[in-house]
Chains A and B, each alone.
Chain A
């Protein structure tokens, strides 16, 4: 998921690209990049929770 930030470099308007656009429009660097980190982190937490759930389901008893 975090690797997807790379696609911002081939003109895809993903979260990272969007953030950079927004920064150049508003110059509110601190808030934008902090929000971006929080959003990536939130997704990571969701993925972690999902994998945990799967792990519990297939645990060998």
Chain B
């Protein structure tokens, strides 16, 4: 056990190097995942059926399959179809697609939690659907998104 306490400090720098890479991947994935989550979360509530389907297929596929297998698939199977991507890019993209799919449900839940009276008020003011969404519903949904979004981010 005396070996254990010896020079722990020398182990830290190489681990910190790894941590930098970890943080880079996280940052890249978050930047992609946030718009993905917003788009697909709102898309799942769209009045247009094709949009709803597209968003649902994306969310269900990425939420419903193993993230590890997705990663392997993009890294090892895609090259067999002639698409060879650098590992770093695959890591960022797959994690983003994953987080985006989970995030979509966070967004959808938060939007549905806005009281219907808010929408009705928008209708009474003769706002368009898009205006109601952008000016009334989404701003009120954001505070409700944060706690589960933080949960996801961690």
Q: Mark B1-43, 1 if CB is under 8 A from A, else 0.
A: 0011000100110111111011101100100000000000000
Main SS class of interface, B: helix
Q: Does B125 contact A (CB under 8 A)?
A: no
Which residues of chain B have C-beta atoms less than 8 A from A35's C-beta?
8, 11-12, 15
Number of interface residues of B (CB under 8 A): 38
Query: Is the Cβ of B22 less than 8 Å from the Cβ of A51?
Result: no
Instruction: Count residues on chain A whose CB falls below 8 Å from chain B CBs.
Output: 39
Q: Is B149 an interface residue (CB 8 A)?
A: yes
Is B143 engaged at the interface, CB distance under 8 Å to the other chain? yes
Q: Are the C-beta atoms of A15 and B21 separated by less than 8 Å?
A: yes
Please, how many angstroms separate the alpha-carbon atoms of A15 and B25 in the complex?
11
Answer whether A26 and B147 are a contact pair too, CB < 8 Å, given A7-B95, A43-B23: no
Most buried by A among B21, B71, B75, B95: B21
Q: Quick check: A51 and B146 within 8 Å, CB to CB?
A: yes
Contact A4 B91 (CB under 8 A): yes
Residues of B within 8 A of A4 (CB): 22, 25-26, 29, 91, 95
- Which residues of B lie under 8 Å from residue A16 when comparing CB positions? 18, 22
Also in contact, A18 and B18, with CB within 8 A (given A54-B146, A58-B142): yes
Show the binding face of B for A, using Cβ within 8 Å: 3-4, 8, 11-12, 14-19, 21-23, 25-26, 29, 67-68, 71-72, 75, 87-88, 90-91, 95, 98-99, 140, 142-143, 146-147, 149-150, 153-154
Closest 8 CB pairs of A and B: A18-B18, A51-B150, A7-B91, A15-B18, A14-B22, A15-B22, A10-B75, A14-B21
Given contacts A18-B21, A28-B4, 12 further A-B contacts (CB under 8 A): A7-B95, A10-B90, A11-B87, A12-B25, A14-B25, A15-B15, A22-B14, A32-B15, A36-B15, A51-B147, A58-B142, A58-B146
